[in-house]
Chains A and B, each alone.
Chain A
Amino acid sequence: MTFIFDAGYTFWNPLIWIIVFLVVAIIVYFFRRTGQKGYKKDTDQARIFLSGEEVPEAEERHIRVGNIYWGFFETLKEYYKQMVRVHTGIINDYILWFVAVTVVSAIILVIAGRVG
């Protein structure tokens, strides 16, 4: 059994990556160990400091899924508008798509068969 994956021009050795990750993890652990020794869990030391401002409750400060990648969706607004329009949720539409794609595919195959 070998770790090396060599499929002609594709060469890949996962073991090297795993070793690299382990080395990085050990280095990170080493730096973490050099941290503040006097830290005590579940005391005021562990409280969030927000420049002296009052820290909101957990549910208020959690960034929800709807707020992530806002810019991406704003840029592709038109694309998503069209895509959502197609996803009607109506089974009749789904079958209509099936019929249309089948007919188009059959026409392409028959024409290609004649030409070929």
Chain B
Amino acid sequence: MAALVAQSPILIIAIPLVAAFLTPLIGMKSSKARNALVIGSLTFAAFLVFALARDISINGIHVYTLGATSPSLAVPTGFMVPVRIVLEVDGMSIFFGIIWSIVSLAAAIYSLSHIAKETGQNRFFTLLLLMVAGGFGMMFTGDLFNLFVFLEIASIAGGALIAFRTGFADTQEGGFKYIVVSAVAGLMVLFATGILYAQYNSLNIAYLAQVIQYTTLDQIALALFLIAFAMKTGMVPLHLWFPDAYSVAPASITGMLVITSHACMYAAFRICFTLYGGVIDALVVGWIIIIVGLLTMFVGVTMAVYQKDVMRFMSYHAISQLGYMWVGVGVGLAVLGTPALLAYGRDAMSGGIFHILNHAMYKPLLFFTGGALFYYTGTRDLTRMGGLAHKMKWTTVLYIIGTLSISGIPPLNGFSSKILIYESVFRFNPILTIVGIVVSILTLASFTKAFHSAFMGAELPEYKGGQEVPKSMIIGMVILAAGIVFITLFPSLIVNWAIHPAADALLDQGAYINAVMGAVP
């Protein structure tokens, strides 16, 4: 078991990658064997993620160097800098890894029935596994170039999956927009990486964090990194592509795309706190993130109330909720290096990070319920729905759980993270809390509107003959709902075991650098 854990950082990326290439081969012979391979590989990857998380909680940061005599030997003998590909997994990386493993497994199970009537399923699952490998790579990589490579893998697979249902014109348009936006963002990340490489002759994040000077070129590189990742997360005013792409993808993929947004958010945090942590103008960058985060919350929710397409409605809510995370972590960044960090900054960051976990449970769940509505009715148009609770009892209950959670209604998990954000950011600036509460009220109002439109009322004649969605779709939704219930019941356990270590990992830049550079023989 110890040997397995030692190799786990690369295995977690390699297993879905290898399974992706095996999927079309096995799928040609048997679809059942292919499905078993997909679910089996994702389950095993999830098992490794949890085993690695346990190891990190006991032994600290896990460094894995490819091609070295010992995985922890990041800097080869006779060298002063790391030259090999290094994976570095700390509390923050594994936190995102846990989220990604749970949601990707739930999405794959959900997909078994959701795309059962579509052609090209081998390609679908191949792309899904590639996307999973890309996501894990982004979270675990210790160098900037591989961050770009894994970002591209996840983006290209994501774009193809958005356009998977070729029978609809809007899916092709959505896929095209996603690919263009991702390519531009990816290019900017590559450009920024090039700027740093030209100055410091290295791509390793830990080494760069140690030597970075914050020159004018570094400042421009920071802007490129931040805005590129902000666009990928759908931060206002760069969110315009987000509903166009997310609303047309198969629901299982939309759930996963939400987590790729989280992966880009992770990358932005890593750049701000770890790479630039020692030199950044924290107050200025923190305030930029806070202001844009507030805009993201407000514009996202007001546009969501306006929507009549159930998936666009949920996409705008995803944007709005991402704003909470930006605000929480932005406050932590703004007070970095001041006494206020210990007073409330760490709690604000913890609230933002906790909200990422909660969002990763309820948002894919809500997208899955949206997908279930589409599966049942054949439309995303809420004006054509009504009375569906009569036939879709499971979906109705799961939608209510997701709605109460996203709206921050006690006792569900969304409330735990929101109260942590509200009470900590209030001490930084009360206006942030007021905006947060107003956005929460609007969130509840809009979900109530959608609930009434789709589920309530008398049974409509056109939907009388139908029946609830297949079991695998329900199982996919129940996995996420179970996650919500667990976090609801044990918020303290989650915060102490996962959230605080993740926030501390971001704040402790020295530990991240030492884990790689301290290995010099």
User: How would residues 81 to 116 of chain A score, 1 for a CB under 8 Å from any chain B CB and 0 otherwise?
Assistant: 001001111010111011001100110111011001
Interface of B is mostly: helix
| Chain B residues, Cβ within 8 Å of A73 | 306
Partner of B281, one of A4, A88, A109: A109
Query: Any chain A CB within 8 A of the CB of B214?
Result: yes
Tell me the count of chain B residues lying within 8 A, CB to CB, of chain A. Answer: 65
| CA–CA, A1 and B492, complex, Å | 8
Minimal beta-carbon separation of B94 from chain A (angstroms): 21
Minimal beta-carbon separation of A2 from chain B (angstroms): 5
Query: Any chain A CB within 8 A of the CB of B244?
Result: yes
Query: How many contacting A-B pairs (Cβ < 8 A)?
Result: 157
User: How would residues 480 to 510 of chain B score, 1 for a CB under 8 Å from any chain A CB and 0 otherwise?
Assistant: 0000000011111101000000000000000
Query: Any chain B CB within 8 A of the CB of A49?
Result: no
Query: Any chain B CB within 8 A of the CB of A52?
Result: no
| Chain B residues, Cβ within 8 Å of A30 | none
Do the beta carbons of B240 and A87 come within 8 Å of each other?
yes
Do the beta carbons of A66 and B223 come within 8 Å of each other?
no
User: How would residues 357 to 382 of chain B score, 1 for a CB under 8 Å from any chain A CB and 0 otherwise?
Assistant: 00000000000000000000000001
User: How would residues 50 to 79 of chain A score, 1 for a CB under 8 Å from any chain B CB and 0 otherwise?
Assistant: 000000011101111110110011001001
Do the beta carbons of B489 and A80 come within 8 Å of each other?
no
Do the beta carbons of B411 and A17 come within 8 Å of each other?
yes
Do the beta carbons of B227 and A63 come within 8 Å of each other?
no
Interface set, chain B 64-122, CB cutoff 8 A to A: none
Do the beta carbons of A68 and B453 come within 8 Å of each other?
yes
Which of A3, A5, A18 counts the most B-chain CB atoms under 10 A from its CB?
Answer: A5
Tell me the count of chain A residues lying within 8 A, CB to CB, of chain B. Answer: 53
User: How would residues 286 to 307 of chain B score, 1 for a CB under 8 Å from any chain A CB and 0 otherwise?
Assistant: 0010000000000100110110
| CA–CA, A37 and B306, complex, Å | 44
Interface of A is mostly: helix
| CA–CA, A83 and B236, complex, Å | 12
Query: Any chain B CB within 8 A of the CB of A25?
Result: no
| CA–CA, A58 and B452, complex, Å | 14
Interface set, chain B 238-256, CB cutoff 8 A to A: 238, 240-241, 244
Do the beta carbons of B303 and A83 come within 8 Å of each other?
yes
| CA–CA, A15 and B185, complex, Å | 44
User: How would residues 403 to 427 of chain B score, 1 for a CB under 8 Å from any chain A CB and 0 otherwise?
Assistant: 0000000110001100110011000
| CA–CA, A35 and B226, complex, Å | 61
Query: Any chain A CB within 8 A of the CB of B220?
Result: yes
Do the beta carbons of A83 and B411 come within 8 Å of each other?
no
Partner of B284, one of A14, A63, A112: A112
| Chain A residues, Cβ within 8 Å of B299 | 83
Query: Any chain B CB within 8 A of the CB of A9?
Result: yes
| CA–CA, A102 and B188, complex, Å | 10
| Chain A residues, Cβ within 8 Å of B411 | 14-15, 17-18, 21
Query: Any chain B CB within 8 A of the CB of A10?
Result: yes
Query: Any chain B CB within 8 A of the CB of A28?
Result: no
| Chain A residues, Cβ within 8 Å of B489 | 3, 14-15
Do the beta carbons of A62 and B457 come within 8 Å of each other?
yes
Which of A66, A69, A105 counts the most B-chain CB atoms under 10 A from its CB?
Answer: A105
Do the beta carbons of A63 and B457 come within 8 Å of each other?
yes
Do the beta carbons of B445 and A108 come within 8 Å of each other?
no
Query: Any chain A CB within 8 A of the CB of B332?
Result: no
| Chain B residues, Cβ within 8 Å of A7 | 347, 350, 420, 495
Query: Any chain B CB within 8 A of the CB of A8?
Result: yes
Do the beta carbons of B308 and A66 come within 8 Å of each other?
yes
| Chain B residues, Cβ within 8 Å of A42 | none
Do the beta carbons of B419 and A91 come within 8 Å of each other?
no
Partner-B contacts on A (CB < 8 A): 1-10, 12, 14-15, 17-18, 21, 57-59, 61-66, 68-69, 72-73, 76, 79-80, 83, 86-89, 91, 93-95, 97-98, 101-102, 105-106, 108-110, 112-113, 116
Closest 7 CB pairs of A and B: A17-B411, A58-B458, A106-B223, A14-B411, A65-B453, A5-B491, A62-B457
Selected A-B contacts with CB under 8 Å, 28 pairs: A5-B416, A7-B350, A10-B347, A17-B410, A58-B386, A59-B461, A62-B386, A62-B457, A63-B453, A64-B382, A65-B450, A76-B302, A83-B306, A87-B240, A91-B181, A94-B240, A94-B241, A95-B180, A102-B224, A102-B227, A109-B220, A109-B284, A109-B285, A110-B216, A110-B220, A112-B281, A113-B216, A116-B281
Q: Given A69-B449, A83-B306, 14 other A-B contacts at CB below 8 A? A: A3-B490, A57-B461, A58-B386, A58-B457, A58-B461, A59-B461, A65-B382, A68-B453, A69-B305, A76-B302, A95-B181, A101-B237, A108-B288, A110-B219
